[in-house]
Amino acid sequence: MNGREIARMDSITPLFTEEQIAERVSALAAEISADYAGCEKLHIICVLKGSTLFTSDLLRRITVPTELHFVRICSYAGTQSTGVLRIQYSDVPDLRDQHALIVEDIIDTGRTLHLLTVLYKEKAPASLRVCTLLDKPSRRVVQLTPEYIGFTIPDRFVIGYGMDYDEAYRGLPYIGELHS
Ligand code: IMP
Ligand code: MG
């Protein structure tokens, strides 16, 4: 168990080390920088809170000019098992004729990204793409294929590098599978 989470009794199996994450983030940033070469400005939309660490590392390595924005989605569990998603906070500007890249920590059912892509496409951006650090395609409910994927993983619950379990573990520098 990591000393930062001494209050918890969960066990964690490491999946990706700090070095593996850094290497993959650099490769993604290089790919994004090449794809948007010559672009006047790329709007980076960080989906709070999980993708903050990923976004900050990615942003530092992207070489085209960027503007950083945040959006926070919250889910209200209704009478159905699927919660209703709502935007709780956003500083995303008018994206008309602008290039935008949504940055997520992990895509699971695809519902969050589906909501965001539908919403932002209405703003008529010049382009809209999705970059996710992790993808769990076997869990997909809404079809969605991100343009940039860090790692594809099986159906496991993961924590660390921004991702949480009940708000814990976001500060872990590596990504692990949580067995509670
Ligand atoms: P989706 O809308 O089902 O695609 O998932 C949206 C959000 O659920 C992700 O952005 C994460 O914040 C959270 N999530 C999904 N799977 C995991 C996981 O394995 N660990 C931590 N958070 C997760
Ligand atoms: Mg997320």
108 carries an active-site annotation: yes
Residue 51 near ligand 1, beta carbon < 6 Å:
no
pLDDT tens string, the chain, 180 residues long: the values are: 455 555 567 899 999 999 999 999 999 999 999 999 999 999 999 999 999 999 999 999 999 999 999 999 998 765 554 678 999 999 999 999 999 999 999 999 999 999 999 999 999 999 999 999 999 999 999 999 999 999 999 999 999 999 999 999 999 999 999 997
Closest CA to 85 of 109, 104, 111, 108: 111
pTM, entire model = 0.93
Cα-atom radius of gyration of the chain, to the nearest Å? 16
Residue 160 near ligand 1, beta carbon < 6 Å:
no
Residue 8: what pLDDT?
65
And the tokens for 121? 């496409």
Residue-level length of the chain: 180
Question: Any idea which ligand is nearest the CA of 70?
Answer: 2
For residue 83, give the DSSP letter: P
Mutate which of 105, 139, 156, 172 for ligand 1 pocket (most atoms within 8 A of beta carbon):
105
The sheet that has 99-107: what strands, in order across it? 84-90, 66-76, 42-48, 99-107, 127-135, 148-152
